[in-house]
Each structure stands twice: as structure tokens, then as C-alpha cells.
Amino acid sequence: MNTMLRRPEELSVVDTAKRVLPGGGFGNVSHDVVVARGKGSRVWDLSGNEYIDYLMGSGPMIVGHSHPEVVAAVQAQVADGMTFFANNQHAILLAEAIVEAVKCAQQVRFVSTGSEADLYAMRVARAYKKRDKILKFEGGYHGMSDFSLMSLAPKRSTNFPQPLPDSAGIPKSLKDEMLVAPYNDLEIVRSIVREHKSELAGIIVEPFQRLIPPKPGFLEGLRKIADDNGLVLIFDEVVTGFRFAYGGAQAYYGVTPDLCTLGKAIGGGFALAAIAGRAEIMAHFDKGKVGEDDFVLQIGTLSGNPVAAVAGLKTLEILKRPGSYEKIFATGRALMEGYRRILKDTRVPAQVVGDAPMFDLCFTDKQVVDYRTAMGDAGKQKRYNTLFRERGILKSESKHYISLAHDERDVAETLAAFESTMKVMAAEMRR
């Protein structure tokens, strides 16, 4: 067991964070570990404690921290310039790589964050269809825009398709522009589309929603509903792009959207994301093709940043090599199978939910098919995360990201830490 001693230097930095940052942090993970460095599958905090990292920067570090080839590419570019606010060769080549890899992508527009990508994907869908409403799914995460923060994590249940804002400061008028359905329920989607067809521009969905896989036929059903009703189907692949397969979740599940958004992996640890899709829709970013009235304005200081682009290009090159995805899936499956065995042995009431590249526990006995069935015991989830971290495993509140850098040693040490954690939880639950 890692005792996680905290040095005065780290505690001082934590105190400073509490003074100068709202909530003492950046709004991301809730714990107060201050990470100092990362290498491969591991990170070290300011106190020198070592962690096996399944947070992986919330997903971008899919080839591992400080991969030497990525570092070399970035260092070479930094010496030649850090940003230009003009076309650069590396970002153009990255766009070409995305078009070659991702089936729906005929053209690409770069932004800096997944939040921006999702916002612009919805905006360009509205411009293309000349309709205002977008259908999303309860619990689906599409960034931090006002439109996206509808029923991401609603604190109470509402009747579908009524959305519930997730944040203060969102104008009440925007509620009327978003419709919400339960994930994996085609019948409710059909009903909502029938009622709102004349004002609905498109459907945005995570093809693999947080940890929840699509039911067989669900994504195919969304494709048919979109086709039958003249809607734009948007896959939010900020997380799943280049993670489930080189062509993303659309390749993994065999369903092609009209637009997709990408992030995380394509920036190699730097701020870069993209909207990609059919040329006739993407043309709305080109005033010369669609004219003033149909033009979607998009400007970003760091869009297509060359440092991020070279990191992304090198990351994709590494992922494309033979055996890369086989290794990621083998690692994830070994952990998932080990967790299930330990949960059965310790009789802790939890289940492993997700797929090999991305999964975690849900402390519920329900079959997890949507946001509401995934809502387990939050207290047990928090306790599990705390105990796991004390044993040298770093992860988000509700997700493991598996990287190419994780290996058999990581699996063995993680399973030992997981077994120790579950034995403590089992003993606590018996009291």
C-alpha cells in the first residue's frame, strides 16, 4: 500500500491553490493531488508519490506521457515557432490524416477545445438545415457551451424531451432550443422527432455515452431516423475518436454520421480539436461558397496551432502502427476481467461498465443502459476513488482511460490495489 506522504512543498502549493483558485482547482478532478511530472503510464506528485495513471490528462495521452517521439516532434516545432494565426503545413497534414482515417470526414475545421468543436457542430447543423432545435441525450457530455449544458447531470428527473440546465448563468430562453431523450431508447427518439420535425436541425450523440455502450441497433436506428427526417446526425467523438479504432467509434460500430467532433488524441496533449464531416455541410464555414447569410463565422487564435498539430500527427502515426489497438484492448480487458473476478470474490455490490479502452465501476444492481440506470451509490463511488488513490492509482471520478503505455506490470499492480480496496469496502459495508 502506498501511504502517500505529503511534503510541505506540496501542501504549500495546495494552500496557494485554495487561495487563488475557486474551489482550489481548475474545475476538473476534485482531489488535491498536485502532479509534477509524467512518463509513460505513470505520474508523480510534488511529494514524490508515484501513481499508475488512468486519468491520462482526461484522455489525450493515449500513447502515454512524454512519449519520446512526440516530445522530439514538439521540440523541433517550438524552435521554429509556436503559433502563427495563419495556415501551417503541419495542421494541413493533420487535416489530411483525419480525412483519410475518419469515414464521415470530407473536410475539417480546427478549434482548440472539444467544447468549441461541439458548439460549432451544432451551429453548422442549424445553418445547413435552417432550423433551430437540436436533440441530445440525457447524461451526454458535449462540452461547456450553454446549449451543451442541458441535462448533462440533471439533479432531478424531468419528462422527456424537456431539458434541465446544469449550470447557473444559462439563459432560460435556450431551454426551448434543446430537446432531450434517454440514451439507447429509439422509440422515444422517434416520438420526439415526429413532434418536432419541422424545427429540428439534428441529433448529437456520443456513440459510446460516457461509459455506456450503445445497444445493438441503436446507432443504426439513429442513422435511419436522421435519414428519414432530413436531420444532421452528429457523433461527438472528442473522446472516442482514434481511441476505439483508428477510424473512431464510427469505424468500431460501423455507423457513419454526417458530422463528427474530435479532440483528445488528435492534439497529443495540446489544445486542439476539430469538426469534420460532409463537404456540403462544412461548406457553411466558407463564405465564398454559401454567401453571407449562410456563412458560419469561426475564428480562433490557436486554431490549427502548429505545436499541437505536430503532436497530433505523431500520436496518430504511433497509433496506426500494427498492434497498437490490440494492445490497448488487451490491457483494458485484462483489467475489466480482473475487476469482475475481485468484485465477485469480495461481494461488493458494483459492476464494471464500459469497454476496454474506457470503463469504470457503477455501484448499482441495475442494468446500465442510460443516464438514470447508471446513477449508482455516489458515496461508495467516492470512497472507492479515495481508497484507490491512496494505493497509488490515479483516475477520474468515473472513468479509466487505457493507453498504449499501460503494460502487464501496471495491470498486476492495479489489480492488487483494486483487491485491497474492495476488501476494505467489503469490511466497511459489513459493519
Q: How far apart are CA 265 and CA 240, in angstroms?
A: 9
Q: What would the grid cell of residue 323 be?
A: 498492434
* 407: number of Cβ within 10 Å: 14
CA quadruple 57, 62, 67, 69: dihedral sign: negative
Distances (CA, A) of 337 to 359, 360, 376, 411: 12, 12, 21, 11
Catalytic option among 45, 128, 183, 264: 264
Q: How far apart are CA 65 and CA 184, in angstroms?
A: 35
* Cβ contact 111:275 at 8 Å: yes
Which residues lie across from 165 on neighbouring strands?
A: 150
User: Which residue carries 424531468 as its cell?
Assistant: 158
H/E stretch holding 90 reads helix 89-101
Q: How far apart are CA 40 and CA 227, in angstroms?
A: 44
Helices (H), 105-185: 114-129
| DSSP for 7-27, written as a single string | -HHHHHHHHHHHHHSGGGSSS
* Cβ contact 151:158 at 8 Å: yes
Q: Is 15 a catalytic residue?
A: no
* Cβ contact 147:178 at 8 Å: yes
Q: Is 344 a catalytic residue?
A: no
Which residues lie across from 121 on neighbouring strands?
A: none
Distances (CA, A) of 228 to 284, 298, 361: 23, 30, 37
Q: What would the grid cell of residue 206 be?
A: 456520443
In the sheet with 259-262, reading across from the earlier edge strand, the strands are: 107-111, 273-277, 259-262, 232-237, 200-205, 133-137, 178-181
Q: Is 141 a catalytic residue?
A: yes
The 3-class secondary structure across 147-166, one letter per residue, is: CCCECCCCCCCCCCCCCCEC
Catalytic option among 185, 236, 355, 370: 236
Tell me the chain's radius of gyration from C-alpha atoms.
22
Catalytic option among 51, 141, 325, 339: 141
DSSP state for residue 142 in the 8-state scheme: -
Query: Mind telling me the catalytic residues?
Result: 141, 236, 264
